[in-house]
Amino acid sequence: RKLADGINTRIFVGENTMLSVVKIESNSSGNIHSHVEEQWGFLIEGECTRIQGDEEFKAKAGDFWHTPSGVSHGIRTESVGAVVLDIFSPPRAEYKNAGEGFGQAQKD
């Protein structure tokens, strides 16, 4: 599934949880968005900047983060790409369907 230019994922859906292995190319960014599902992220390899609410933080391989329901968030890479394991509960309905994108975009 293509999430954005330079960002693709493989999705594994269970009854109550969904895993998403996201490959992010260098110099790529994902749209700021939010969703009702709780999300955990684990940076498997590479580096990224995680945007969450009003905060930004640099992450490196081995770092993890938690995104509560309804919190706006996104990610970007610079000269180094990244591979992230995202865990959602419950599974994201938008990701179960074929198509592209992150789902609900943030509204200004």
β-strand partners of 56? 51
Predicted confidence (pLDDT) per residue in 17-66, tens digit: 999 999 999 999 998 999 999 999 999 999 999 999 999 999 999 999 99
- The domains of the chain, with CATH numbers, are 2-93 (2.60.120.10)
Which pLDDT score, from 0 to 100, does residue 100 have? 58
* pLDDT value at residue 108: 36
Question: Whole-model pTM?
Answer: 0.86
Residue 101 pLDDT: 59
Among 40-44, 90-94, 103-107, the range with the most confident prediction by mean pLDDT is 40-44
Element spanning 96, H or E:
helix 93-96
Q: Which of 45, 29, 37, 31 is CA-nearest to residue 69? A: 37
